[in-house]
A and B are shown apart, each in its own frame.
Chain A
Amino acid sequence: MTDVSPIIELRDIRKKFGALTVLQDISFDIAEGEFFSLLGASGCGKTTLLRILAGIEQPTGGNLLIDGQPMAGVAANHRPTNMVFQSYAIFPHLNVEENIGYGLRNMRLTKDDARERVAEAIGLVKLDGLATRNAHQLSGGQRQRVALARALVCRPKVLLLDEPLSALDKKLREEMQLELRALQRMVGITFVFVTHDQEEALTLSDRIAVMADGRVLQIDSPRGLYERPASRRVAEFIGSMNLIPGHVAALTGNGARLDAGDLGMFGAEAVGSLRAGAAAYLALRPEKLTLAAGHAGSGPNRLNGEVREAAYLGDRVHYQVAVAGLDQPMAVSVSNAEGEGFSLGAPVCVSWPEAGGLILAQ
């Protein structure tokens, strides 16, 4: 995606509400046709950033370019963006058709053209037959579709979506995720999607910006974020991660050796800027670990412990393994295809291939 020209360019965007800084040092590009997610916990500034893109909020500083045009002083109604609000903001005094056609009134289309585009949008979001339904007669899912159609009918260069699925129940949400992805491929418009749900972001996005405290922590593809998180915070936010604390004993090429005290020395690939002697973590994904019955002698890339909890999920079993010297039990996710499983209290050996771990900075 990076070889495509950027549709959105953010340069050192800052935003303050009074004395409170909600965004700082925001600089990145979003490529044309990309499904880009802003992921973070509530209060991290992701919605504010989206509202700055829409022109509803003005940044305190920095430059924003959309399609090569500087957006300073350009009001929301003159921007090539449209937004799907978290509350959907369906106009309650208008029916489905009138809601969807709302944005076309200022486009100087002929009546027939406008009607055709509304009908097309209704088909696109599968609301056929509901054109004259009143806003208050719609279900949550239908409202969401109206909001989507109302924004898409204006044919924006960028569609902004503010947690559009958060108000839907789980089943409908998963259905809409697939539909949204298919819709984005079909219309080819750049989507900027705000969510606090990491699973949703991983499922939908081409790239994800992980945000915390008004800053972007890391931007990467879903796979890149999951496999090579750049920091402990990202690692903990995306999926679950076992962290073994220690300090850097030595740097070796693109790897490092971590001295974890009584637990031993561990080698793994290093990410981020590490200095010898600095506090760091060995990060291990639960599914990269394997369990073997009984304690093994000391060796590289393994730890002895005992099973504390076992959660049977059908296709997988999640174990919590208590390891002497670690505050948190280690989470181990084992495929159900192999073996009989381990009973509570059983002594086990947790091991991993060296390529399965990462050494992260504090």
Chain B
Amino acid sequence: MFRRPDALWIYAIIFVAFLYGPVLLLPVFALNDSNFATFPLAGFTLRNFQSMAANTSMIMALQNSLKIAIGVALLSTALAMPASLALTRFRLPGGGPIHGFMMLPLVMPSIVIAVALLVIILKILGIQLSLWTVAAGHVLICLPFCMSVLMSRLEGFDPNLEEASRDLGCTAWQTFWRLTFPLAAPGVVSSLLMAFIISFDEFVIAFFLTGTENTLPVYLFSQLRFPNRLPGVMALGTLILVGSTVLVLVAELIRKRGAPSANPGDI
């Protein structure tokens, strides 16, 4: 359809190059045999990946980030599910304001959330900063994303399905596990992945709320002062890029699989 290279077509190419070009430089420099991220390229090497593997503090930070991201993904999805069910299934008094309130972190600057949480945690609750406090902050900002995904999935249901399940002798709990959860599964997977990715690369809240241990983004930021560490950082960045691409592809595949049941009530 867009064979002719008209202005719009050129605009689209520039747009995509602008978006993904910088990201693609990462693997290029990671494989470049030089301490400086500049052209011309000096030669091919895997040395940066070896030095990355040997950098224990970076590996520690990666482990911390993975632990937090997995925990946050599970917890925020688990919290978002009952909230989404309540908001889509029942006419709650004050349901609209509650929904709006839960979506608020979506539009609040994370610096504001970070400072507010810092004050609450240190001054009011008197809790030591640690990876736990980072995770708590991440759950707060992930919840609205998880809820949006789950609610849109749950709203697509024929409400008669759950009534039929109750009518056929299932309790509310059985109905959830035998019917609602399997049908919402593609939404649950999206919610898990979204929360994972948001938590994994979140910087501001992690920077404010972490104690002695670093998450990966905070660690990487601290390493930017040392130019000779940059190639190792890029090597790690490359691995994360590959990892997240695979993750997104898998998620998309699952979502497509789930598509036929997106309209369960149709005839």
Chain B hits for A154, CB < 8 A: 168-169
Asked whether, in the complex, the Cβ of A89 is within 8 Å of the Cβ of B164, the reply is: yes
Chain A hits for B169, CB < 8 A: 77-78, 103, 105-107, 154
Asked whether, in the complex, the Cβ of A89 is within 8 Å of the Cβ of B267, the reply is: no
Question: Could you tell me the distance between the alpha carbons of A33 and B170 in the complex, rounded to whole angstroms?
Answer: 26
Chain A hits for B171, CB < 8 A: 77
Q: Tell me, yes or no, whether A123 is within 8 Å of chain B by CB.
A: no
Known contacts A92-B264, A136-B260; is A77 also within 8 Å of B170 by CB?
Answer: yes
Chain B hits for A89, CB < 8 A: 158, 160-161, 163-164, 265
Shortest B247–chain A CB gap in Å is 24
Chain B hits for A106, CB < 8 A: 169-170, 174
Q: Tell me, yes or no, whether A87 is within 8 Å of chain B by CB.
A: yes
Shortest B59–chain A CB gap in Å is 41
Chain B hits for A86, CB < 8 A: 160
Question: Could you tell me the distance between the alpha carbons of A143 and B167 in the complex, rounded to whole angstroms?
Answer: 18
Q: Tell me, yes or no, whether A342 is within 8 Å of chain B by CB.
A: no
Asked whether, in the complex, the Cβ of B168 is within 8 Å of the Cβ of A102, the reply is: yes
Known contacts A140-B267, A143-B267; is A85 also within 8 Å of B183 by CB?
Answer: no
Chain B 12-54 interface mask (CB, 8 Å, partner A; 1/0): 0000000000000000000000000000000000000000000
For this complex, into which size category does the number of interface residues on chain B fall?
20 to 34
Q: Tell me, yes or no, whether B244 is within 8 Å of chain A by CB.
A: no
- Residues of A244-288 at the interface with B, using a CB-CB cut-off of 8 Å, are none
Chain A hits for B182, CB < 8 A: 93
* Residues on A facing B (Cβ under 8 Å): 54-56, 75-78, 81-83, 85-93, 102-103, 105-107, 136, 140, 143, 150-151, 154, 167
A-B contacts besides A77-B166, A105-B178, A151-B167, 7 pairs, CB < 8 Å: A55-B167, A77-B167, A78-B169, A92-B260, A93-B261, A102-B165, A107-B169
Q: Tell me, yes or no, whether B122 is within 8 Å of chain A by CB.
A: no
Chain B hits for A105, CB < 8 A: 169-170, 178
Q: Tell me, yes or no, whether B179 is within 8 Å of chain A by CB.
A: yes
- Residues of B216-267 at the interface with A, using a CB-CB cut-off of 8 Å, are 260-261, 264-265, 267
Asked whether, in the complex, the Cβ of B167 is within 8 Å of the Cβ of A83, the reply is: yes
Asked whether, in the complex, the Cβ of A93 is within 8 Å of the Cβ of B183, the reply is: yes
Chain B hits for A76, CB < 8 A: 163, 166-167
Q: Which residue of B lies closest to A82 (CB)?
A: B167
- Say whether chain B's binding surface is mostly helix, strand, loop, or mixed: helix
Question: Could you tell me the distance between the alpha carbons of A92 and B168 in the complex, rounded to whole angstroms?
Answer: 16
Chain B hits for A81, CB < 8 A: 167
Shortest B180–chain A CB gap in Å is 10
Question: Could you tell me the distance between the alpha carbons of A103 and B264 in the complex, rounded to whole angstroms?
Answer: 19
Chain B hits for A93, CB < 8 A: 179, 182-183, 261
Question: Could you tell me the distance between the alpha carbons of A105 and B182 in the complex, rounded to whole angstroms?
Answer: 17
Shortest B258–chain A CB gap in Å is 10
Question: Could you tell me the distance between the alpha carbons of A82 and B163 in the complex, rounded to whole angstroms?
Answer: 11
Asked whether, in the complex, the Cβ of A56 is within 8 Å of the Cβ of B261, the reply is: no
- Residues of B113-172 at the interface with A, using a CB-CB cut-off of 8 Å, are 158, 160-161, 163-171
13 of the cross-chain contacts (CB-CB < 8 Å) are A56-B167, A77-B167, A78-B169, A82-B168, A85-B160, A87-B265, A88-B267, A89-B158, A91-B164, A92-B264, A93-B183, A107-B169, A154-B169
Chain B hits for A75, CB < 8 A: 166
Shortest B60–chain A CB gap in Å is 42
Shortest A167–chain B CB gap in Å is 6
Chain B hits for A85, CB < 8 A: 160, 163-164
Question: Could you tell me the distance between the alpha carbons of A140 and B164 in the complex, rounded to whole angstroms?
Answer: 18
Question: Could you tell me the distance between the alpha carbons of A88 and B171 in the complex, rounded to whole angstroms?
Answer: 20
Question: Of residues A136, A140, A154, which shows the largest number of chain B Cβ atoms within 10 Å of its Cβ?
Answer: A136
Asked whether, in the complex, the Cβ of A167 is within 8 Å of the Cβ of B174, the reply is: no
Question: Could you tell me the distance between the alpha carbons of A306 and B169 in the complex, rounded to whole angstroms?
Answer: 62
Chain A hits for B260, CB < 8 A: 92, 136
Question: Could you tell me the distance between the alpha carbons of A95 and B49 in the complex, rounded to whole angstroms?
Answer: 49
Question: Could you tell me the distance between the alpha carbons of A318 and B135 in the complex, rounded to whole angstroms?
Answer: 79
Chain B hits for A107, CB < 8 A: 169
Chain A hits for B261, CB < 8 A: 92-93, 136
Known contacts A77-B169, A82-B167, A107-B169; is A92 also within 8 Å of B160 by CB?
Answer: no
Q: Which residue of A lies closest to B161 (CB)?
A: A89
Asked whether, in the complex, the Cβ of A92 is within 8 Å of the Cβ of B183, the reply is: yes
Question: Could you tell me the distance between the alpha carbons of A167 and B160 in the complex, rounded to whole angstroms?
Answer: 16
Question: Could you tell me the distance between the alpha carbons of A143 and B182 in the complex, rounded to whole angstroms?
Answer: 20
Known contacts A77-B170, A106-B174; is A56 also within 8 Å of B163 by CB?
Answer: yes
Shortest A93–chain B CB gap in Å is 5
Q: Which residue of A lies closest to B166 (CB)?
A: A76
Chain A hits for B163, CB < 8 A: 54, 56, 76, 83, 85, 89
Question: Could you tell me the distance between the alpha carbons of A56 and B160 in the complex, rounded to whole angstroms?
Answer: 10
Chain A hits for B166, CB < 8 A: 55-56, 75-77
Question: Of residues A56, A89, A90, which shows the largest number of chain B Cβ atoms within 10 Å of its Cβ?
Answer: A89
Closest 3 CB pairs of A and B: A103-B168, A92-B264, A89-B160
Question: Could you tell me the distance between the alpha carbons of A86 and B174 in the complex, rounded to whole angstroms?
Answer: 23
Question: Could you tell me the distance between the alpha carbons of A82 and B164 in the complex, rounded to whole angstroms?
Answer: 8
Chain B hits for A103, CB < 8 A: 168-169
Question: Could you tell me the distance between the alpha carbons of A78 and B170 in the complex, rounded to whole angstroms?
Answer: 9
Shortest A163–chain B CB gap in Å is 12
Q: Which residue of A lies closest to B182 (CB)?
A: A93
Shortest A121–chain B CB gap in Å is 13
Asked whether, in the complex, the Cβ of A167 is within 8 Å of the Cβ of B164, the reply is: no
Asked whether, in the complex, the Cβ of A167 is within 8 Å of the Cβ of B264, the reply is: no
Question: Could you tell me the distance between the alpha carbons of A55 and B165 in the complex, rounded to whole angstroms?
Answer: 12
